[in-house]
Structure 1
Amino acid sequence: MEQKSDKYILVVEDSQMFSRILKRSIESVEHFKVVIAESFAELKAILSENKYQFFAGLLDVNLPDAPNGEVIDYVLEHDITSVVFTGKLDENFRKKIYKRGIVDYVLKEGPSNVEYMVSLLKQLDRNQNLNVLVVDDSSSARSYIKHLLLIYQFNVYEASDGIEALSVLEANNIHLVLTDFYMPNMDGLELTKKIRTTYSSQEVAIIGMSVFGNNKLSAHFLKLGGSDFITKPFLEEEFFCRINQNMELLEHIRELKYLATKDHLTGLYNRRYLFEQGKALIDASHEKETSVAVALLDVDFFKHVNDEHGHDIGDKVLFKLGSILLNQFHAPHIVSRYGGEEFCLVLSDITEQESFDLLDGLRELIAEHCFTLDNGDILQMTVSIGVHTSRIDNLKDALKRADQGLYQAKHEGRNQVVLIK
């Protein structure tokens, strides 16, 4: 649940009604902020101020003082990723604007197109964290495709054949591979087979490209694990649509995996993940003959926070506690929200004394932390922790022992760690 910084969207539109609709829809996305220019003159004034670093621009091409799309070149000269919207669009104009390097065009036909523009901005935002590998033995083809991908805000890697591509994949977190079919050393079909031995279609999308595209070739590619196929030469519009569809599918899969394993409020793992992976971690400790510690952490007097300040403040306290835990513990340790204001930690390869020292340090860190409320007031919290560190045969029994330690910590005055062997 990372907090994103604001991203400014430039909207150039002379219709106040349409610009208000756009602004309301775009700013429904938490970190998007809209700046509106209603004329070419106002646009020039805004950009001359250098007050904003614009993430993207939505441009009407027919303004009273710029009726022939003059705004497009002007905004692109300021290195602002741009989407064009217009009431009508003929084929010649479509070709011209794509050659200028726009992301996309949208016709002003109804609410669905406003939704599309917002979706497009969200995709561009996501793309900044996505890595694409272009594999082609033609340097000019790679350069052209890279140019298109950079317009769409992707991070781009290159390889001249399948062998080089596998090295790039091993060294980097690649989300999408665009591969030509006919290459020396290792062609696109063989590369696809190699990739699928390591990465599933839910992890890496693969789009095949070929000048010699036909139904048999694309069907063979898809059977080998390809995600999509596109025939060269392609329209920029088709290229972007296919990439967007594949990236949206991967994003949807990631969201489903997140919802299946994470607690929606704190971003920590949920109980389901805890019991599945906690068992695996304990089993691994038996094989390696290493020690594991299982701890339960409970926020002291948390009911008072909800009663005195409201559940919204209580949720913010839990979110911050989750952030503290995420910062303090990393894999292979497991940190989860166990329920309500209670958290569970399964610590790997750790001695009894090390686990006590680590958890007592966490207790002190939380006790010293100042939770700032919406009205500026400062709230400080303490936690009680029970931890079990002796021979752990299964997670369920270890949690019962840790819960006994937590009960003892509460009974003996709270704000302490109690170790149960």
Structure 2
Amino acid sequence: MKILIAEDDATSRLLFAATLRKLGHTVTAVENGRKAWEAWQKDEHFLLISDWMMPDVDGLQLCKMIRGEPNLRYTYIILLTALDSKGSFLEGMDAGADDFITKPFDEEQLATRLRVAERILGLHQKLHIQATHDHLTGVWNRAAIMGHLQKELERAAREGTCTSVIVADLDHFKRVNDTYGHPVGDEVLQEAARRMGLALRGYDRIGRYGGEEFLITASGCGWNEAMALAERICSSLSRQPVNSGAGQIPMTVSLGVAVGCGQGKDTGVLIAAADEALYRAKKSGRNRIELSNQTT
């Protein structure tokens, strides 16, 4: 498990980090709440162990900052404290802490608390998948991919980089359902999602936008990179038929590509531009890629 430690006392910080690594965890240790906040924003840490009393940003403030972020991935927070009054523990819980460890800590007690954390985080992970993924294809659902795109556009606006969007629509999918039935259509959707996922880079994302339509986001992608990605997707679907319960079914896809390069944060504008390009791709014969006429 990836654990972030915020502890201003160097000896305690080193001891905690060494103990956690001995227990098999990956550890990032920082000396104050401000650096912990920065580390948490940059990388996924499923568990935070924070000292209560720290200069600048203390443990309570850090809890409130993390809980204030709109993030579906839950961070389990353990506060380190020498305080023993019930009022103090209640204050920590109200700030967003999940558990407490008193200093000096006992290694067996720490291991026990981590077992509880892992159990709860496992449950949160299951709920997270159910909340963010399409049950049929396993890719992100519409709400999740739209939320991810919004964050990527905001980041691109801050950093002056590009984010590309590809809208992919399976060609003649209604014909598959009408000819072979919806169970076979489901097989085609699942295989299409699998192949498109394999064509993506590690930091691209794909979501089911609706019916047989998929939305792909590609961070840091300009026109050339987005076009190359769309070509890989197009080729991955058309190169061989889908082996279904009704036999082999040919499959192709039409794609519309749009690129946002830091000028705006409106997901609707970017998707509308990709949709317009998709419409031209389908009107021009399908199984092809069209680029948007505008950069948002």
Q: 1:279 to 1:196 in 2, by over 3 A?
A: closer
Show the 5 A alignment for 1:17-416.
130-131=1-2, 155=25, 157=27, 170=39, 173-177=44-48, 192-193=59-60, 195-196=62-63, 199-200=66-67, 203-208=74-79, 213-216=84-87, 218-219=89-90, 221-222=92-93, 225-229=96-100, 240=112, 243=114, 245-279=116-150, 281-282=152-153, 293-330=164-201, 334-369=205-240, 371-373=242-244, 377-388=247-258, 394-416=266-288
Partners of 1:158 and 1:280 in 2: CA distance: 25
Match for 1:215: what amino acid?
K
Q: CA deviation at 1:347?
A: 4.1
Cα distance 1:208–1:338, how it changes in 2: closer, same or farther (>3 A)? closer
In 1: Cα distance, 2:169 partner to 2:74 partner? 36
Q: TM-score w.r.t. structure 1 length? A: 0.48
- CA deviation after TM superposition for structure 1 residue 383, in Å: 0.8
Distance 1:382 1:403 in 2: 17
Q: Distance in 2 between matches of 1:266 and 1:260?
A: 14
Inter-partner Cα distance in structure 2 for 1:349 and 1:239: 41
Tell me the CA shift for residue 216 of structure 1: 4.9
- Asked if structure 2 preserves the Cα contact closer than 8 Å seen for 1:384 and 1:410, the reply is yes
1:374 Cα deviation after fit: 5.6
Larger RCO, structure (CA 8 Å, separation 6 or more) = 2
* Larger-gyration structure (1/2): 1
Supply the distance in 2 between the matched residues of 1:395 and 1:361 (Cα, whole angstroms). Answer: 24
- How many angstroms apart in 2 are the aligned matches of 1:158 and 1:290? 28
User: 1:205/1:368 Cα in 2 relative to 1: closer, same or farther (>3 Å)?
Assistant: same
Report the Cα offset of residue 285 of structure 1: 5.2
Q: Note the aligned Cα RMSD (angstroms).
A: 5.1
Letter in 2 for 1:416: R
Per-residue CA deviation, residues 16-72 of structure 1 (Å, 9 max, x unaligned), is: xxxxxxxxxxxxxxxxxxxxxxxxxxxxxxxxxxxxxxxxxxxxxxxxxxxxxxxxx
Counterparts in 2 of 1:194 and 1:280: CA distance versus 1, 3 Å: closer
Q: Quote the Cα distance in structure 1 between the aligned partners of 2:158 and 2:26.
A: 42
8 Å CA contact 2:60–2:92 kept in 1: the answer is no
**Do the aligned residues in 1 keep the contact of 2:196 with 2:237 (CA within 8 Å)?**
no
Measured after TM superposition, the shift of residue 387 of structure 1 is 3.0
Cα distance, 1:362 vs. partner? 2.0
* Offset of residue 417 of structure 1: 1.3
Distance 1:390 1:209 in 2: 44
Q: 1:415 aligns to what SS in structure 2? A: coil
Please list every run of 5 or more consecutive structure 1 residues that lacks an aligned counterpart in the other structure.
1-129
CA distance in 2, matches of 1:285, 1:210: 39
Shift of 1:382: 1.1
Q: Secondary structure at the match of 2:208?
A: strand
Secondary structure in 2 matching 1:418: strand
Query: In structure 1, what is the Cα distance between the partners aligned to 2:126 and 2:50?
Result: 26
**Structure 2 vs 1, CA of residues 373 and 237 (structure 1 numbering), >3 Å: closer, same or farther?**
farther
Letter in 1 for 2:135: H
Amino acid in the other structure paired with 2:252:
T
Whether the 8 Å CA contact 2:188–2:244 is kept in 1: the answer is: no
Q: Offset at 1:276?
A: 4.3
Cα deviation code 1:118-171 (max 9, x no counterpart): xxxxxxxxxxxx3457889689x979x869x95xxx636597x967xx78x949
Give the conservation status (yes or no) of the 8 Å contact 1:162–1:191.
no
Q: Which amino acid aligns with 1:155?
A: H
- Identify if the C-alpha distance between structure 1 residues 400 and 225 changes in structure 2 by more than 3 Å, giving closer, same or farther: closer
* Residue identity matched to 1:415: N
The answer to whether the 8 A contact 1:387-1:418 is kept is: yes
Question: Which moved further from structure 2: 242-251 or 295-304?
Answer: 242-251
Moved more, 333-342 or 222-231: 222-231
